[in-house]
Structure 1
């Protein structure tokens, strides 16, 4: 059997009509350790890790001393794809056969995808239970008559699925093709990164044309440019999520502007290398040394790198200086508010992030204000007036809609009048009115996050502020509901940079000249100045 037989049509796929399952692993490896652990299985496992594919292999994932069977069976249930590596002595292991029976059970229950690989065995011998497989089952009949027929059926069923035979191909070639196939399976239904994305589909298609529309026989730098709050990061995340698996390695570096202000460019270089090379670089002592390591280690790799929120050319020089740093076919995506910065760095392809049109804007606003794509009947005209004020800016629409959710019509009208009275920066006024609507305790928690806790783990923050009587669990949830902060899949607190700027500006305005009179000191140099001069009041 060759690779052409391993098409997706040969395997069961997930269905929306099926119940939802929780997946811990992308891939489960079923193999006979004695035959392949230090050979093919080891090489395949390392390739899966390099490609960011979460893989269960019993010798690494089981706790020492644990009773093996329940954990193995649970891991199969929590996997999307199972790779069964049939080898000469596979059937001699009752553990392997128990795994296989569980795999068949999960295929029938939740449409688990299974890929057989035939290592030093004839696929027809496995399927028809001949040779070493026949001998193994003869021994099992003596020891465990009860399960033998179930095991036989499982071997025949899995061996009948199209897969890969290593008989006449190099292991490295087969592993590369298996990785490509698994990537395709995992990407067939990639979910959107963010909930209720509106107007994103056409923008994603335009960006994909920029990224993949031409033959990639070079290194391509692509910029996403636009004002704050317009959705540059969201778009970059969507693109990254859709295409990262076609690259040898990938990395998404967040908050570059903020990290650079804290003098952590070397840290960002280490982060980039760690993600690309799947290892930690501990020997970089300065930015120039990091540049040398980057261009030496990445020049032969086809990589996808996203550098988010760049505002200084030094950041680009430190993280993605020139084309020759990267292998052919690499794509470097840079988001920035500064088009001229991108041009100066030689970025030829720049996508201008667009405001939402009226229909898209009303839909996004409605999702936040009414939890559905259209306004309530009595709120249509008011909704359109708020949408017009937000001027198609997604962040403004989300914050306004979240602020007004569950409010009476008279409260909507009051909020609109307050916005009209404000002059100057529209987006700041929108964010500020949302801040003004918080209780004093919620305002203080918001400013704590804006000044100190952005990027920190939620549980750690709760422990810190609990002693101040902030009721952090409730109030953090409230700030999330109002679209003022988010919590990512790892439990980390995040805040849009415009919201953070607004919060820090509120603190700054408490005392423009006398730093010691401010409630919060957000910058390292401000803290140093106050302490050195003993001006705390």
Structure 2
């Protein structure tokens, strides 16, 4: 079995992903094989992903693109200012770029003065000053470099002569400690702590598993429907535990990354880089990557998280030989695909995530709608309506809360009326990923039939109906269960989350503006309209009739929509059965 993690760190949209904790800037001729080498090793041993340029060859006129990228994708820079640092135009150009990065973000910059005093950098001596002339650069560049040296000299830095009595080993330990304090070693910005509703009760069982002291490689699978909070939970667990391990990697959104060109190889390279603390590893193909991962993880106790795994092949690309991993390593997988439960002969612990309770839902929604843990007084009833419509799905609660925040009660009322008729598109698009991932049109068609017609019906009845219509219903329903699209309760009845059901019906609704040109009609009004106007087409595969709602049968007592479930539904077309269907949210 194998696992994966997208190592891109969670960032604000305006900032690039963090591939490195520390970018080392130094003059190679001065310190590459001495002080900087020892400093780099100390950072790596402390668990920091550290970038240093190992290229001994003469560079071109301009700074290399990979160095530019490394600076942009690092969380901090440590600048080793030695006697000949300013004699290198490449070092000075790196310095200019580092300081520009600092001015536009919370980037950490730590100057380390090695055998040179800050005053010498601020006001270069003759040897430093000649470097500008020797470089022969344009005047603008020269001025930028001079200004950068002055600026870095004025930053709060560390001077070898002033600390640890000049002992380099002690000095290096202090540098590592300072960077560790400044970065605070948190891998992911999950969410404001107050918004992590119910997180501690959900994390408790996972932490017990992580701390059980087992010497065996163990796998935990966090399983549940899309939008239920699997990734948030995994990130929270990773943040509070990854320091306990010699190496760690969180590969995020594997499903999407694996679709990209050479995606699985890129995932392998990211995993290798993470567990090697930022060291760049060349991987030519998947087979080569598997061998290198095997070697890297065989002697190091690691924590690996593979987020949104969709197929066993994605796991095999990184953890095919997990039996050879170092004892005590832990592996966490998040997925909405139950087939992964049987993807390994080794024991797997399953953490099945459930939807939020009513109180949890109201609290999460309130944080996003009002910035507090409860609704404002005038919005209480409206908030309760949102909670009911969300079905306890965190994704829906966050999106709806944010979209309604700051709006008047009149707008809320209109928005909720619309939501009851037309589900929120952003939510449905995210949930549709599970529908699109079904293996063939057979399963997709079966899903749409259940979403439109069969919610609440006994599984055996559904099988009897749809098998007679050419479906392979038993295996099809199992595939839907595996994708967290339907559930079967203890009474053998098939159920579907409100939002999942609305997603399915939304897919059908998008087939055409005209009901007669859609494949399925689940609303009695649409069915009456099509039959009355005789404008049905060959596209229609099934429709529902509630004759109790027909004007000829309606009385004041039974014309209420709430009585819809008290009347039989008749399926016309490929469906030829009369039965009562219990739809949990009548339309």
Q: How many residues align?
A: 406
Larger radius of gyration: 2
Matched position secondary structure for 2:299: coil
Equivalent in the alignment of 1:386:
386
Mapped contact 1:200–1:235 kept (Cα < 8 A)? no
Name the structure 1 match of 2:462.
Answer: none
Change (3 A) 1:270 1:301: farther
Query: How far, CA to CA, are the matches of 1:505 and 1:138 in structure 2?
Result: 77
1:56 to partner: Cα distance = 7.6
In the other structure, the counterpart of 1:158 is 159
Instruction: Tell me the residue number matched to 2:232.
Output: 234
Distance apart, 1:272 and its partner CA: 2.9
Distance 1:503 1:204, change over 3 A: closer
Q: How does 1:469-480 map to 2 (within 5 A)?
A: none
Match of 2:376 in 1: 376
> For residues 293 and 307 of structure 2, what CA distance do their matches in structure 1 show?
18
Tell me, in whole angstroms, the C-alpha distance in 2 between the residues paired with 1:338 and 1:142.
65
Q: Is the 8 A contact 1:204 1:238 kept in 2?
A: no
Residue by residue, what CA displacement relative to the aligned partner does 1:321-375 show, whole Å, maximum 9, x if unpaired? 4542433443211113466843763344433435434444223212443455542
| Structure-2 change in CA distance of 1:388 and 1:232 (3 Å) | same
Instruction: Name the residue aligned to 2:530.
Output: none
Distance change >3 Å, CA 378–CA 115, structure 1 → 2: same
**Superposition deviation, residue 393 in structure 1:** 2.1
Q: In 2 relative to 1, CA 224–79 (structure 1 residues): closer, same or farther, beyond 3 Å?
A: closer
The alpha-carbon deviation at position 91 of structure 1 amounts to 8.4
* Aligned-partner Cα distance in 2 for 1:336–1:395: 16
| Corresponding residue of 2:78 | 83
Shift of the alpha carbon at 1:186?
1.8
Does the C-alpha gap of structure 1 residues 327 and 189 become closer, same or farther in structure 2, counting only changes over 3 Å? closer
Matched, 1:29 2:31: no
**Matched-pair contact (CA < 8 Å) for 1:291–1:319:** yes
Residue aligning to 1:461? none
Aligned to 1:382, what secondary structure does the other structure show?
helix
* SS of match in other structure, 2:249: strand
Q: Deviations over 1:17-44 (max 9, x none)?
A: xxxx999985453534322235553675
Instruction: Compute the displacement of 1:304 (Å).
Output: 3.4
C-alpha distance in structure 2 between counterparts of 1:253 and 1:365, whole Å: 25
In structure 2, the residue corresponding to 1:273 is in which secondary structure? helix
Return the alpha-carbon distance in structure 2 between the equivalents of residues 29 and 200 of structure 1.
Answer: 41
Residue in structure 1 matching 2:424, options 427, 434, 455: 434
Query: 1:339, 1:399 → 2: CA distance?
Result: 26
Long gaps (5+) in structure 1? 1-20, 421-428, 455-496, 519-537
What's the CA shift string for 1:376-413, capped at 9, x where partnerless? 32111221232244343212212333454465545544
Q: Within 5 Å, give how 1:318-329 maps onto structure 2.
A: 318-321=317-320, 323-329=322-328
1:482 maps to what in 2?
A: none
Task: Give the alignment of 1:69-108 within 5 angstroms.
Answer: 81-85=76-80, 89=83
Aligned twin of 1:192: 189
Deviations 1:303-335 (A, max 9, x none): 433222345555545543454243344321111
Q: Contact 1:117–1:163 (CA<8 Å) still a contact in 2?
A: no
Q: TM-score, normalised by structure 1?
A: 0.53
Which whole-Å CA distance do the structure 1 matches of 2:161 and 2:272 have between them? 37
SS in 2 for 1:351: strand
Any idea what SS the aligned residue of 1:433 has? coil
Corresponding position: 1:202 with 2:200: yes
Separation in 2, partners of 1:404, 1:322: 49
* Higher helix proportion: 1
CA contact (8 A) 1:80 1:113 kept: no
Q: 1:353 to 1:323 in 2, by over 3 A?
A: same
How far, CA to CA, are the matches of 1:283 and 1:76 in structure 2? 28
Q: Report the counterpart of residue 3 of structure 2 in structure 1.
A: none
**Does the CA-based 8 Å contact 2:299-2:326 persist in structure 1?**
yes
Give the distance between the partners of 2:289 and 2:153, measured in 1 at CA. Answer: 56
Offset at residue 267 of structure 1 (A): 5.0
- Deviation track 1:243-294 (CA, whole Å, cap 9, x = no partner) reads 55654352414243x778x7x8x95542332112343522337xxx765564
Measured on the aligned residues, the alpha-carbon RMSD in Å equals: 6.2
Q: Is the 8 A contact 1:253 1:272 kept in 2?
A: no
Give, in whole Å, the separation in 2 of the partners of 1:251 and 1:272: 11
For 1:232 and 1:164, how far apart are their aligned partners in 2? Answer: 50
1:450 to partner: Cα distance: 6.9
Partner of residue 341, structure 2 = 342
Give distance in 1, aligned partners of 2:182 and 2:168.
24
| CA distance 1:505–1:332, shift in 2 (3 Å) | farther
Quick check: 2:218–2:330 contact (8 Å CA) kept in 1? yes
